[in-house]
Amino acid sequence: MAVYTDINEIDLAAFLAEYDIGGLLSYKGIAEGVENSNYLLHTEKGSFILTLYEKRVNRGDLPFFLGLMQHLAGKGIDCPLPVHQKNGAMIGELAGRPAAIVTFLEGMWMRRPTVAHCQAVGEALARMHLAGLDFPMRRENALSVSGWRPLWDNAKDRADEVEQGLAAETEADLAFLEANWPSDLPVGVIHADLFPDNVFFLGTRLSGLIDFYFACTDLLAYDVAVCLNAWCFEKDFSFNLTKGTALLRGYNSVRPLSADEAGALPVLARGAALRFMLTRLYDWLTVPDGSFVVKKDPMEYIRRMRFHRQIHSPVEYGLVLKGVDA
Amino acid sequence: MAVYTDINEIDLAAFLAEYDIGGLLSYKGIAEGVENSNYLLHTEKGSFILTLYEKRVNRGDLPFFLGLMQHLAGKGIDCPLPVHQKNGAMIGELAGRPAAIVTFLEGMWMRRPTVAHCQAVGEALARMHLAGLDFPMRRENALSVSGWRPLWDNAKDRADEVEQGLAAETEADLAFLEANWPSDLPVGVIHADLFPDNVFFLGTRLSGLIDFYFACTDLLAYDVAVCLNAWCFEKDFSFNLTKGTALLRGYNSVRPLSADEAGALPVLARGAALRFMLTRLYDWLTVPDGSFVVKKDPMEYIRRMRFHRQIHSPVEYGLVLKGVDA
């Protein structure tokens, strides 16, 4: 759920006067996105999303996020296109917050993705990676390996409240990942949060990628590892090898993973699970009950960490190695 | 905020197969309405609202609410029109809840209504009253005078937690209203909850009335009294006589209040304030903090009760009495 900020019609009319999107017909706060307030606008020219950036988003990062969407859309990637104000700006201010308007993408996110959806998301991720290679801006990934220890330091004393022994278990994982994190793999723009709720489909056709507000410059294969975590586990935390195979086949069909990238998948997937576990744990321990921020269970990612710890080869995720194939 | 129930694409597709509204393009949970879960659907045939009725709504009342919208829309009132399933039904089931689809109305609700909006809502209310006169179904108002004491009995022991002395003050008001509630005024279908968030405008033109889920059969003038409470007080609880005048002029221009109805306005307005105070007080004391039900401050209506207690003539609300006019 996310409508943290209500907008009144007077402020909104003044804001929209800066745009050339036709007369406003309606605006509805929508319960999607966790970090920001989102409104679905109907205007005489179509449907748009208006986002108010709440305090968890760093204002200085907005040109990267919005510039990236514009860059990707220009390369044919189906993603929201930022709408420029008459003065050329992509970022305005509304209700005391930075605000932007992007085009609305039709499509539904899959609560129950199938194998076909996993293959499509693999393909789309690879296309996004290729399209982003010449994007000129850079943004460090604050939530990559170097960012995990500070998060952990804020949570570790209370980690055993979630499960007895979790503190020692996580400490060991973190030390392992810090010592073994790859550094010489191909780098580019990654989405970094390509969960099912950020991918729209019309039937089995992927109609768009949304929510680039964690996008950054990092190892491309790490984005694949995030998707393995996000798309290929069932609700009982079992890994669905058929989905993993489909996702990796989709990715490889557009941008084949190098042998080094493939070999690093187990450690990258373990790190991705730790990354989501840590932010969830942090929220779990620090966000007050009853806040409108939805608190997600960190245990879902501890279960994934344990799975990845036992993986020795990317073949176990479903990757078909060259030479072995056919 | 209200999306209590998430819907998955499989259940939704099965539900929509019963309708002839074209292929589904998107569905977004929207943060409007307090009692139910609402989704904005885009289909190949346009925009629709899908409502899942949560437990606060009595399933047996749905034929009245949906039948009323159909009746009113058929008489030219701008309100959502229920969409029938292929088998003729207006009510289906989705995610274990009764569910219905209605047409989407463009328009914005006014966070800051002006005098012109108040006049328009008065006119629209009167038109709705006339259009409802031959609606054949009946529904008692569970939240009229006979329903207040049971609510009060559940809250009175803790009322002084809200403000010292509130218990005695409310007890006296309730006794007065029970003794003086009018019974011989014109009766018909009333909206009973026509607050600004249930009235849409495009500019100053009223584009629709929504949310008929408190509608019932009761004194028509009581609905006017609800609107005086809902539309004509400023944020500092002062009564805006210009807005009151406009609202009553709008109403009278379509359906003139009788002398008896006009004379009863002070007691009806006092009762309407008590009704909203009581349900807010009940929620305030019983709904846990952090629930997704938004708890509204009962003091806003205690302040209105105090105002109405001092009113002796409808002229003080802005009513222009016949003969005095011109």
For residue A95, the Cα-to-chain-centroid distance in whole angstroms is 26
Going by their DSSP bridges, the two strands B97-103 and B46-52 should be labelled as: antiparallel
B184 close to A (CB below 8 A): no
**pLDDT tens, residue by residue, B244-277:** 999 999 999 999 999 999 999 999 999 999 999 9
Domain with CATH 3.90.1200.10 in chain B: 109-317
Q: What is the largest CA-CA distance in chain A?
A: 64
Q: How far apart are CA A164 and CA A84, in angstroms?
A: 52
A206, β-bridge pairs = A201
Task: Give the residue range(s) of CATH 3.30.200.20 domains in chain B.
Answer: 9-104
Tokens of A214: 């964690």
Chain B: give the shortest CA distance to residue A1, in Å.
8
The ipTM value here is 0.88
CB-neighbour burial class of residue A147 (10 A; exposed 0-12, middle 13-18, buried 19+):
middle
User: Which DSSP symbol is given to B211?
Assistant: -
Are A8 and B42 an interchain contact pair (Cβ–Cβ within 8 Å)?
no
What integer pLDDT is reported at residue B326 of this predicted model? 37
Q: What per-residue confidence (pLDDT) applies to B323?
A: 54
Contact (CB<8Å) A3/B3: no
Task: Kindly report which listed range (A64-78, B2-16, B110-124, B254-268) carries the lowest average pLDDT score.
Answer: B2-16
A74–chain B nearest CA distance, Å: 23
pLDDT at residue number A2? 55
Secondary structure, 3-state, A160-195: HHCCCCHHHHHHHHHHHHHHHCCCCCCEEEECCCCC
pLDDT (tens digit per residue) in A102-116: 999 999 999 999 999
**Would an 8 Å CB–CB cutoff place B235 in contact with chain A?**
no
Query: Looking at the domain that runs over B109-317, which CATH code has it been given?
Result: 3.90.1200.10
Please check whether residue A53 is in contact with residue A36, taking contact to mean a CB–CB distance below 8 angstroms.
yes
Digit-coded pLDDT (tens) for B186-212? 999 999 999 999 999 998 899 999 999
| Whether the predicted pLDDT of B229 surpasses 70 | yes
A11 pLDDT higher than 90: yes
Distance of CA A112 to the CA centre of its chain: 18
Q: Is A308 exposed, middle or buried (CB count within 10 Å of its CB: 0-12, 13-18, 19+)?
A: buried
**B67 CA to chain A: closest CA distance, Å?**
26
As assigned by CATH, the class of the B9-104 domain is alpha beta
Report the residue of chain A nearest B3, measured CA to CA.
A31
Q: In whole angstroms, what is the distance from residue B9 CA to residue A322 CA?
A: 36
Q: How is residue B306 written in tokens? A: 């105090």
When pLDDT is cut at 50, 70 and 90, the band that residue B122 belongs to is very high
Q: Assess contact for B206 and B120: CB atoms under 8 A.
A: yes
pLDDT tens string A183-241: 999 999 999 999 999 999 998 899 999 999 999 999 999 999 999 999 999 999 999 99
Cα A290 from Cα A302, distance rounded (Å): 24
pLDDT at A148 over 80: yes
- In this predicted structure, the answer to whether residue B1 has a pLDDT above a threshold of 50 is no
Contact B187, B135 (CB under 8 A): no
Percent with pLDDT over 70 in chain B = 95
The tokens describing A103, both together, are 């085009």
Across the range A237-259, mean pLDDT stands at 97
Distance CA A16, CA A12 (A): 6
Among A1, A37, A296, most B C-beta atoms within 10 A, so best to mutate, is A1
A43 in reach of chain B (CB within 8 A): no
Q: Which B positions 140-169 lie with beta carbon below 8 A of chain A?
A: none
Measured CA to CA, the distance from residue B159 to residue B180 in angstroms comes to 23
Q: Which residue has the higher pLDDT, A35 or B156?
A: B156
Helix (H) or strand (E) holding B124: helix B115-132
Strand A97-103, strand A46-52: pairing: antiparallel
- Residues of chain B found within 8 Å of residue A107, distances taken between Cβ atoms: 25-26
Residues of A in contact with B25 (CB under 8 A): 106-107, 202
- Measured in angstroms, the CA of B1 and the nearest CA of chain A are apart by 8
The beta strands (E) that lie in chain B are given as: 24-30, 37-43, 46-52, 92-94, 97-103, 108-109, 187-190, 199-202, 205-209, 216-219
Does A132 have pLDDT greater than 90?
Answer: yes
Q: With beta carbons under 8 A apart, name residues in chain A contacting B292.
A: 1
Identify which of B9, B112, B288 has the shortest CB distance to residue A9.
B112
